[in-house]
């Protein structure tokens, strides 16, 4: 990964997520027989939030919102500049924890429940994502983002599939959208954040999604940089479509079901894929 590519990735990664979220809304609208908003609607919404008055319940809430954004930005910088994947993972996890703590800092039943569910979601996807990165590093021989020089698409197909529940949770999609369940807890973890402070958290989520899609992109590589870019982009759109399809065809799970199904599905597939590699090597 050249310095120029790293800088471009650093600058345009979160912007690409904004476009992906616009595509997400259009696909969802088509599935529901609607026209849908313009592709740039996520950018319009974000700009509108930052133009609103600065109002918060307490200063602690604001501090955690800023911390969540800064930590997610730091995690993305580590990845985009070719740093250690595990460092990026743990820094991003700290950002997610800051979001939950910000929700806990407010005396609101909806916010408190949303924070509890956010922690349960972390328990559901973080072991899957961590193990997927460990297997990727094991097979490629390095945990450095800019040192990945081999395609793992066919060697680790089941590991790649485990990104579906991870993305569904990160994108707040059914059946794993427990922390922001609008029908139950009115946006839950975000309910007491308003205006620019809510905008900070939305932007933090863009950086967080950029990191997850970045991890996913490492599974495809080609010597031809243009083929590599196209392949990574197609892989991202494929997983986006699957996530949106899952969102529009499933109902929300309970807390126990979310942890049980996500961990069983994710860790089970990774274990089977690793076992297959070991057996093949032994033969």
**Encoding tokens for residue 180?**
């922001």
Q: Give the bridge partners for 84, in sequence order.
A: 144
Count up the domains in the chain and report the number: 1
Per-residue confidence (pLDDT) for residue 186, from 0 to 100? 65
pLDDT of residue 1: 47
Measured N-to-C along each axis, helices 255-282 and 109-140 cross at an angle, to the nearest 10 degrees, of 0
CB 61 within 8 A of CB 104: no
Q: Could you read off the pLDDT of 130-188 as tens digits, one per residue?
A: 999 999 999 888 888 887 778 888 899 999 999 998 998 888 888 877 766 666 666 76
Q: Rg of the chain over CA atoms, in angstroms? A: 19
Average pLDDT over residues 250-268: 83
Identify whether the C-beta of residue 57 lies closer than 8 Å to the C-beta of residue 191: no
pLDDT at 190 over 70: yes
Q: 91-105, 171-185, 187-201, 215-229 — which is least confidently predicted?
A: 171-185
CA dist 117 and 129 (Å) reads 18
Domain that holds residue 237: 3-282
Whole-model pTM: value is: 0.91
């Amino acid at each position: 990964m050249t310095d120029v590519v790293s800088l471009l990735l650093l600058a345009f990664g979160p912007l690409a997520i904004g476009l992906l979220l616009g595509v997400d809304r259009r696909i969802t609208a088509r599935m529901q027989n609607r026209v849908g908003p313009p592709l740039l609607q996520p950018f319009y919404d974000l700009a509108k939030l930052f133009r609103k008055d600065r109002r918060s319940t307490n200063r602690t809430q604001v501090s955690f919102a800023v911390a969540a954004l800064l930590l997610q930005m730091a995690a993305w910088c580590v990845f985009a500049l070719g740093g250690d994947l595990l460092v990026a993972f743990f820094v991003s996890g700290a950002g997610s924890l800051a979001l939950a703590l910000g929700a806990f800092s407010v005396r609101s039943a909806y916010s408190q429940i949303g924070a509890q569910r956010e922690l349960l979601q972390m328990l559901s996807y973080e072991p899957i994502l961590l193990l997927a990165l460990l297997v990727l590093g094991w097979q490629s021989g390095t945990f450095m983002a800019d040192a990945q020089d081999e395609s793992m698409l066919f060697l680790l197909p089941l590991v790649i599939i485990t990104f579906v529940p991870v993305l569904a949770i990160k994108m707040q999609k059914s059946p794993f959208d427990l922390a922001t369940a609008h029908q139950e807890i009115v946006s839950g973890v975000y309910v007491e954040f308003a205006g620019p402070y809510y905008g900070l958290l939305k932007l933090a989520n863009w950086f967080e999604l950029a990191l997850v899609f970045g991890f996913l992109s490492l599974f495809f590589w080609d010597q031809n940089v243009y083929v590599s870019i196209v392949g990574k982009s197609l892989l991202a759109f494929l997983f986006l479509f699957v996530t949106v399809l899952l969102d529009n065809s499933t109902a929300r799970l309970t807390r126990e079901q979310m942890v049980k199904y996500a961990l069983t599905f994710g860790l089970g597939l990774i274990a089977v894929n690793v076992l297959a590699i070991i057996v093949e090597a032994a033969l």
